C-alpha cells in the first residue's frame, strides 16, 4: 500500500495554518476569528497525526484526542463570550471593542 | 564547682531578661528583689569560688580553672571557644564587681525609689553586671571584647537614662564615641595578637610569650594598641573628657560604672596581659607617663570645679592615672591593690555624694551647700572616711595602696616620685575643699532646701556603712612588709604576675624599711600641709568673698574651664568633621546620589509615558503584534 509522503502533509498543514493566521489578522468579525483559530488548531492536529503514523508512535494520536477535547471546551467558552458581547453591544465587530486601554 | 562558675554571669543576665521583658508590669518591690537578688547570688558564688581557690596551693598553675562552655567560632584551624578562666586575678575582680555591685544595687532601691524608670534602671544595671563579669571571666581576648563593648553599651544607656534631657543624651553619645576611638585600638590589637600568636586564648598566648625576647617591635605595637583601648575605657589623656560628662547619669551609675568597675577595666586588661606589656618596655614607659600626666592634670582640674559629682569624676580620672602609673612601673599588684581600694572608697564617696544630692533636692553645686554636718551627721562621717581614704591618711586603705605605687615609682625614678607626690597633695587639697565646702561653714542654699535636709533612709545608709568599713579596713589585704604585714595580695596574685616579674628584671632591692618610713613620712607631711591649707582657705574665711577674685586670675580661670580641652577638641575634631560631612552632604549626597536616583525615577516615568500609546485597545492590533512577535522569535531561533 502506497502512503502519502510526509512532505505533502507538511505543505498542506503549513498552508492551512497560514490561512488561519491570515484569517485572524484580517477578519473583523469575532466569529470568523474564532473559526480561523480553530483552523490553526486543526492544522496542528493533522500534523501530529501524520507524524504519529510516520514515526509509528501512537502517542501523537493520543495527544490529538486531548487537544480536540480541550479545543471543544475552549470553543464553547469563546462562543459564550461572543454571545455576551453581542448582547451588550449588538455587534461582534472587534474594532468597536477598544475600551480596554490605559 | 564548674556549674557554679558558669552560673555567676548568668544570674544577672536572667535578672535583666526578667526585668527587661516584664518592664513596667513588675511591681517595684519584686523588681528590687530580682535586681539585687541576682547580683547577690553571683556575689555568693564568687565568695565560694574564692575560698575554693584559696584552698589550693599558691604559686602553681593549679589555681587556674578553665571552663569551656561551647565552641564559638571554628574554621580553617582557627578556633575560638566561649570559655571562662578563673584565676586569682579574675576572682579578685569578681568579688569587686559583684560585691560593690550588690551594695550599689541595694543603695539604688532607695535612691531611685520615685523614678518612673525604676524597672528599666535595674534591668540595665543587671545587664551591666553581666557584661562586666563576661569581661572579667573571659578566657580570651574575644570574650573580653564582648564584655568590653557590652559595658560600653550599658554605660551609654545609663548615662542617658533620663533621656528626656537632650544634654544628658549628648553626654551619653560623647561617652560612647570617645570609647569607640579606644575600642578601635583594642580591636586592632586583638587582630595583631591573632596574627602573631595564632590564638586568642590567654593561656596559649602567655605561654608562647614567655619564650620571647623583650623589645620586639610587634609586641610594642600590640601593647600600644591594647593600651589605646585602655585609655578610652579608663579615661586617660587624651580620651578622658567623656568621664566628667558621664556624671549626667543617676548617681549609683556613676558609682558603679564610672568609678568602681567599668573604668577600671582598662587597668584589669593591662594587668591581665602583663606578660605582653613586660615584653614591650617602651609601652610601659608610655603608660607610666600617660598615667602620671593624667593623674596630675585631672587633679588640677578638680581643684576648681564646683559640681560635687564632677569633682569626684576628675578625682576618679586622677586615681586611674595612679593605677596606670603603677602598671607602667611594673607594680602590677600595687595597681590592682589600688583598683580594689579605689572601688571601695570611690563608690563610697559617690554614694555619699548621692545622699547629699538626695537631701539637697537634686542640687549638685557645692557653692550652694555648706554646713550640712549638722543635719546629715551620718553622711558627714561616712564622707569624711572616704575623704581620708582617698587623701591617703593611715590607717585607711587608700594610704597603703597609694604608698605601694609611690614606693614602686621611687625605686625607678626619684623625679617621677616627686611629681606623683605633688599629685597626691592636690588630691588631698581638692578632696578637703569639697568636704569643707559641703559639710562645714554656713548653709548657703535656699530656706526650702534647709527644711528638707535629712539623712537618707536605711536602705541607702547600710550599703554606705559597709563601704565605709571596707574603705577603712581594706588595707589589711596587702599590709606592706615594712610595717610587718604579710602582703597577702602579693602572694595571692603572684602566680599571675610571675612571668612578667622574671622578664622585667625589676630591681629586686626594696628601698628598705628606713627609706620606706621616710617616704611615707614625707608624703604624709605634704598631705597634712595641704589639708591645713584647704582648711585655711575654705573654712576660716567665707568662701563667697573668694569666688569673685578667683575668676580673674589666669590660672584659676584656665583650671575652672578644664584647660579648655573640650573647646580644643571641638575646634580640632568636631567642627572639621561636621563641616566635612556638611560638604559631603551638599556635594556628594545632593549633587551626585540624589541626582542619580531622581534620574532613574524620571527615566521610568518618561518611558512609561511614551510606551503607553502601544496599548490602544484595538484587538486586531494586539493580534497582529502577537503574530509579529511569534514570527520574530521563530526568525531569531531558527534562522540566526
Of B113-117, B171-175, B331-335, B449-453, the one with minimum mean pLDDT is B449-453
Whether A5 shows a pLDDT value over 60: the answer reads: yes
**With the C-alpha atoms ordered B556, B558, B563, B564, is the resulting torsion angle positive or negative?**
positive
pLDDT, average across residues B260-277: 91
Q: Say how far apart CA B522 and CA B357 lie, in whole Å.
A: 36
Residue B354 pLDDT more than 80?
Answer: yes
CA distance B587 to chain A (A): 40
Q: Return the residue in A29, A30, A92, A98 with the most chain B beta carbons within 10 A, the one to mutate for interface testing.
A: A98
Average pLDDT over residues A67-82: 93
- Smallest CA–CA distance, residue A11 to chain B, in Å, is 18
B609 close contact with A: CB closer than 8 A: no
Considering only residues B58 and A3, tell me which one the structure prediction assigns the higher pLDDT. A3
Over residues B297-323, the mean pLDDT reads: 91
Is A72 inside any structural domain?
A: yes
- CB–CB contact B615 A102 (8 Å): yes
Hey, are the CB atoms on A95 and B624 less than 8 Å from each other?
no
Interface contact B617-A99, CB threshold 8 A: yes
Say if the Cβ atoms of A101 and B617 lie within 8 Å: yes
- At B545, the pLDDT band (50, 70, 90 cuts) reads very low
Determine the structural domain holding residue A38 and report its residue range.
Answer: 6-93
CA-closest candidate to residue B255, choices B189, B352, B341: B352
Q: Does the beta-carbon distance from A24 to B623 stay under 8 Å?
A: yes
| Alpha carbon distance A100, A94 (integer Å) | 12
Highest mean pLDDT among B73-77, B320-324, B372-376, B511-515: B320-324
Write the CA distances from B372 to B420, B440, B444, integer angstroms.
32, 7, 10
pLDDT exceeds cutoff 60 at B627: yes
Q: Do B159 and B131 touch, CB atoms closer than 8 A?
A: no
Q: Is the pLDDT of residue B255 over 70?
A: yes
pLDDT at B20: 86
Using a CB-CB distance cutoff of 8 angstroms, which residues of chain A are in contact with residue B615?
101-102
In the 8-state DSSP scheme, what is residue B305?
-
pLDDT for B291 equals: 93
Q: Which of the residue ranges B189-203, B415-429, B465-479, B527-541 would you say has the lowest mean pLDDT?
A: B527-541
CA of B611: which chain A residue's CA is closest? A102
Residue B377 confidence (pLDDT): 86
Q: How far apart are the first and last CA of chain A?
A: 61
Residue A1 inside a domain? The answer is: no
CATH code, domain with A84 = 1.10.287.3510
Task: Report yes or no: B623 at the A interface, CB cutoff 8 Å.
Answer: yes
Please check whether residue A54 lies inside any domain of the structure.
Answer: yes
Cell numbers representing residue B13 in the block: 543576665
Option in B612, B616, B627 nearest A98 (CB):
B616
Report the distance separating Cα B318 and Cα B291, nearest Å: 8
Contact predicate B11/B101, CB 8 Å: no
What is the number of domains present in chain A?
Answer: 1
Which site among A23, A24, A81 would you substitute to test the B interface, given the most B Cβ atoms closer than 10 Å to its Cβ? A24
Cα(B447)–Cα(B373) distance, integer angstroms: 17
B-chain residue closest to A95, CA distance: B618
Look at residue B552 in the predicted model and tell me its pLDDT: 62
Rounded Cα–Cα distance for residues B432 and B540 (Å) = 13
Spatial separation of the C-alpha atoms in residues A70 and B131, rounded to whole Å = 71
Residue A102 lies in a domain: no
pLDDT at B451: 78
**Which pLDDT does position B511 carry in this prediction?**
65
CA separation for the pair B124, B51 (Å, rounded): 30
Higher pLDDT, B52 or A99: B52
The pLDDT assigned to B584 comes to 92
d(CA B6, CA B9): 7
Most confident of A34-38, A95-99, B481-485: A34-38
Q: Count Cβ atoms within 10 A of the Cβ of residue B472 and give its class: 0-12 exposed, 13-18 middle, 19 or more buried.
A: buried
Residue B61 pLDDT class (50, 70, 90 cuts): low
pLDDT digits (tens, 9 = 90+) for B578-620: 999 999 999 988 889 999 999 999 999 999 888 888 887 777 7
Which residues in A lie closer than 8 A to residue B620 (C-beta atoms)?
Answer: 25, 28, 94-95
Report if residue A99 sits inside a domain: no
Chain A residues within 8 A of B623 when measuring between CB atoms: 24-25, 33
Residue B101: name the closest of B205, B166, B12 by CA.
B12
Judge: B612–A100 Cβ closer than 8 Å, yes or no.
Answer: no
Q: How confident is the model at residue B447 (pLDDT cuts 50, 70, 90)?
A: confident
- Least Cα separation, residue B630 to chain A (angstroms): 11
Instruction: Please tell me the least confidently modeled range out of A46-55, B208-217, B258-267.
Output: B208-217
- At residue B349, the pLDDT reads 93
pLDDT tens for each residue of B191-231: 999 988 888 889 888 888 888 888 888 999 999 999 999 99
Interface contacts A/B by beta carbons within 8 Å: 28
Instruction: Please indicate if any CB of chain A lies within 8 Å of the CB of B619.
Output: yes
What pLDDT was estimated at residue B130?
A: 94
Q: Is B615 within 8 Å of chain A by CB?
A: yes
Contact residues on chain B for A94, CB-CB shorter than 8 A: 618-620
pLDDT band at A88 (very low <50, low <70, confident <90, very high): confident
pLDDT bracket for residue B136 (50, 70, 90): very high
With a cut of 70, say whether residue B542 has pLDDT above it.
no
What is the spatial distance between Cα B408 and Cα B330, in angstroms, rounded to a whole number? Answer: 8
User: Distance from B615 to chain A by nearest Cα, in Å?
Assistant: 6
ipTM of this complex: 0.78
Rounded to whole angstroms, the Cα distance separating B128 from B377 reads 33
- Residue B312, pLDDT > 90, answer yes
Spell out which residues of chain A touch residue B619, defining contact as CB-CB under 8 Å: 94-95, 97-98
Mean pLDDT of chain B: 87
Distance CA A62, CA B600 (A): 53
Q: Which residue of A has its CA nearest to B616?
A: A101
Residue B62 has pLDDT above 80, yes or no: no
> In the 3-class helix/strand/coil scheme, how is chain A assigned residue by residue?
CCCCCHHHHHHHHHHHHHHHHHHHHHCCEHHHHHHHHHHHHHHHHHHHHHHHHHCCCCHHHHHHHHHHHHHHHHHHHHHHHHHHHHHHHCCCEHHHCCCCCC
B624 CB neighbours in chain A (<8 A) are 25
Percent of chain B with pLDDT strictly greater than 70: 95
Determine the average pLDDT of the residues in B257-285: 91
Which of B54-58, B195-199, B513-517 shows the lowest per-residue confidence on average (mean pLDDT)? B54-58
Residue A98 in any domain: the answer is no
pLDDT exceeds 60 at position B547: no
Chain B: residue nearest A37 by CA? B623
pLDDT at B24: 67
Residue B442 near residue B372 (C-beta atoms within 8 A): no
Check A97 against B620: CB less than 8 A apart. Answer: no
User: In chain B, what percentage of residues exceed pLDDT 90?
Assistant: 41
* Grid cell of B465 as nine digits: 556603712
d(CA B499, CA B547): 53
Task: Name, in order, each residue with C-beta under 8 angstroms of B428's C-beta and a sequence gap of 6 or more.
Answer: B391, B392, B526, B527, B530, B531, B534
Beta bridge pairs of residue B201: B140
In percent, how much of chain A has pLDDT > 70? 95
| Contacting residues of B for A33, CB less than 8 Å apart | 623
User: Quick one: cell of B5?
Assistant: 562558675
pLDDT of residue A3: 76
Cα distance between residue A66 and residue B475, in whole Å:
100
Taking any CB pair shorter than 8 Å as contact, residues of chain A touching chain B are 21, 24-25, 28, 33, 94-95, 97-102
Going by pLDDT thresholds of 50, 70 and 90, the confidence category of residue B550 is low
Assigned domain for A100 exists: no
Which DSSP letter does residue B370 get? Answer: -
| Residue A91's pLDDT band (cuts 50, 70, 90) | confident
Q: Which residue has the higher pLDDT, B23 or B342?
A: B342
Instruction: Find out whether B257 and B161 touch, Cβ atoms under 8 Å.
Output: no
Contact across the interface for A25 and B619, Cβ inside 8 Å: no
User: How far is B616 from chain A, CA to nearest CA, in Å?
Assistant: 6
Q: What digits encode the pLDDT tens for the residues B159-171? A: 999 988 899 999 9
pTM given for the model: 0.80
Residue A23 placed within a domain: yes
Measured CA distances, A85 to A27, A29, A32, B618, B619 (Å): 17, 12, 15, 15, 14
Q: Which of A28, A95, A101 sits opposite B615 (nearest CB)?
A: A101
What phi and psi values does residue B438 have, to the nearest 5 degrees?
Answer: -80, -45
Amino acid at each position: 500500500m502506497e502512503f502519502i509522503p510526509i512532505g505533502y502533509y507538511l505543505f498542506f498543514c503549513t498552508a492551512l495554518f497560514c490561512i488561519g493566521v491570515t484569517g485572524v489578522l484580517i477578519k473583523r468579525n469575532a466569529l470568523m476569528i474564532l473559526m480561523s483559530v480553530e483552523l490553526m488548531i486543526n492544522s496542528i492536529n493533522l500534523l501530529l497525526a501524520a507524524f504519529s503514523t510516520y514515526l509509528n508512535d501512537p502517542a501523537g494520536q493520543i495527544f490529538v484526542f486531548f487537544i480536540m477535547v480541550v479545543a471543544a471546551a475552549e470553543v464553547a467558552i469563546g462562543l459564550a463570550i461572543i454571545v455576551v458581547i453581542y448582547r451588550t453591544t449588538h455587534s461582534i465587530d472587534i474594532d468597536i471593542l477598544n475600551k480596554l486601554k490605559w | 564547682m564548674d556549674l557554679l562558675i558558669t552560673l555567676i554571669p548568668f544570674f544577672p543576665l536572667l535578672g535583666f531578661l526578667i526585668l527587661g521583658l516584664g518592664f513596667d508590669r513588675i511591681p517595684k518591690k519584686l523588681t528590687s528583689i530580682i535586681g539585687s537578688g541576682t547580683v547577690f547570688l553571683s556575689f555568693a558564688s564568687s565568695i565560694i569560688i574564692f575560698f575554693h581557690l584559696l584552698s589550693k596551693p599558691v604559686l602553681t598553675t593549679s589555681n587556674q580553672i578553665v571552663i569551656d562552655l561551647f565552641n564559638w567560632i571554628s574554621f580553617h584551624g582557627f578556633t575560638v571557644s566561649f570559655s571562662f578562666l578563673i584565676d586569682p586575678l579574675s576572682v579578685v575582680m569578681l568579688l569587686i564587681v559583684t560585691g560593690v555591685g550588690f551594695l550599689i544595687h541595694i543603695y539604688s532601691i532607695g535612691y531611685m525609689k520615685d523614678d518612673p524608670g525604676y524597672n528599666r534602671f535595674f534591668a540595665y544595671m543587671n545587664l551591666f553586671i553581666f557584661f562586666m563579669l563576661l569581661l572579667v571571666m573571659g578566657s580570651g581576648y574575644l570574650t573580653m571584647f564582648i564584655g568590653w563593648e557590652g559595658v560600653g553599651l550599658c554605660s551609654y544607656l545609663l548615662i542617658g537614662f533620663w533621656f528626656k534631657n537632650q544634654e544628658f543624651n549628648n553626654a551619653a553619645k560623647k561617652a560612647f564615641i570617645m570609647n569607640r576611638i579606644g575600642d578601635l585600638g583594642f580591636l586592632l590589637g586583638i587582630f595583631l595578637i591573632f596574627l602573631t600568636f595564632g590564638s586568642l586564648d590567654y593561656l596559649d598566648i602567655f605561654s608562647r610569650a614567655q619564650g620571647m625576647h623583650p623589645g620586639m617591635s610587634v609586641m610594642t605595637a600590640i601593647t600600644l594598641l591594647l593600651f589605646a583601648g585602655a585609655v578610652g575605657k579608663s579615661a586617660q589623656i587624651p580620651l578622658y573628657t567623656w568621664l566628667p560628662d558621664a556624671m549626667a547619669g543617676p548617681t549609683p551609675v556613676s558609682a558603679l560604672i564610672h568609678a568602681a568597675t567599668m573604668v577600671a577595666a582598662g587597668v584589669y586588661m593591662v594587668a591581665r596581659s602583663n606578660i605582653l606589656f613586660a615584653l614591650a618596655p617602651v609601652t610601659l614607659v608610655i603608660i607610666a607617663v600617660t598615667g602620671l600626666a593624667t593623674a596630675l592634670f585631672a587633679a588640677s582640674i578638680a581643684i576648681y570645679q564646683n559640681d560635687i559629682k564632677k569633682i569626684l569624676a576628675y578625682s576618679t580620672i586622677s586615681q586611674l592615672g595612679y593605677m596606670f602609673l603603677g602598671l607602667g612601673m611594673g607594680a602590677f599588684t600595687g595597681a590592682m591593690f589600688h583598683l580594689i581600694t579605689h572601688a571601695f572608697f570611690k563608690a563610697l564617696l559617690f554614694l555619699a555624694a548621692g545622699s547629699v544630692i538626695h537631701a539637697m533636692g537634686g542640687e549638685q553645686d557645692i557653692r550652694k551647700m555648706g554646713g550640712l554636718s549638722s543635719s546629715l551627721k551620718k553622711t558627714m562621717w561616712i564622707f569624711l572616711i572616704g575623704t581620708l581614704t582617698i587623701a591617703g591618711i593611715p590607717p585607711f586603705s587608700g594610704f597603703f595602696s597609694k604608698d605601694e605605687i609611690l614606693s614602686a615609682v621611687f625605686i625607678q625614678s626619684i623625679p617621677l616620685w616627686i611629681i606623683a607626690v605633688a599629685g597626691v597633695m592636690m588630691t588631698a587639697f581638692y578632696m578637703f575643699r569639697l568636704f569643707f565646702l559641703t559639710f562645714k561653714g554656713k548653709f548657703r542654699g535656699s530656706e526650702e532646701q534647709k527644711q528638707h535636709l535629712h539623712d537618707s533612709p536605711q536602705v541607702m545608709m547600710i550599703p554606705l556603712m559597709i563601704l565605709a568599713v571596707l574603705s577603712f579596713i581594706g588595707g589589711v589585704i596587702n599590709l606592706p612588709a615594712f610595717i610587718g604585714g604579710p602582703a597577702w595580695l602579693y602572694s595571692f596574685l603572684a602566680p599571675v604576675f610571675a612571668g612578667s616579674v622574671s622578664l622585667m628584671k625589676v630591681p629586686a632591692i626594696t628601698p628598705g624599711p628606713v627609706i620606706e618610713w621616710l617616704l611615707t613620712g614625707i608624703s604624709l607631711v605634704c598631705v597634712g600641709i595641704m589639708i591645713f591649707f584647704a582648711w585655711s582657705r575654705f573654712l576660716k574665711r567665707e568662701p563667697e568673698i573668694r569666688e569673685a577674685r578667683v575668676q580673674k586670675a589666669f590660672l584659676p580661670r584656665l583650671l575652672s574651664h578644664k584647660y579648655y580641652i573640650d573647646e580644643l577638641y571641638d575646634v580640632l575634631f568636631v567642627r572639621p568633621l561636621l563641616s566635612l560631612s556638611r560638604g559631603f552632604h551638599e556635594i556628594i549626597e545632593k549633587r551626585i546620589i540624589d541626582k542619580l536616583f531622581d534620574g532613574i525615577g524620571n527615566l521610568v516615568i518618561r518611558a512609561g509615558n511614551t510606551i503607553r500609546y502601544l496599548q490602544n485597545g484595538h484587538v486586531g492590533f494586539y493580534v497582529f503584534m502577537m503574530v509579529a512577535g511569534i514570527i520574530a522569535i521563530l526568525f531569531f531561533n531558527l534562522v540566526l
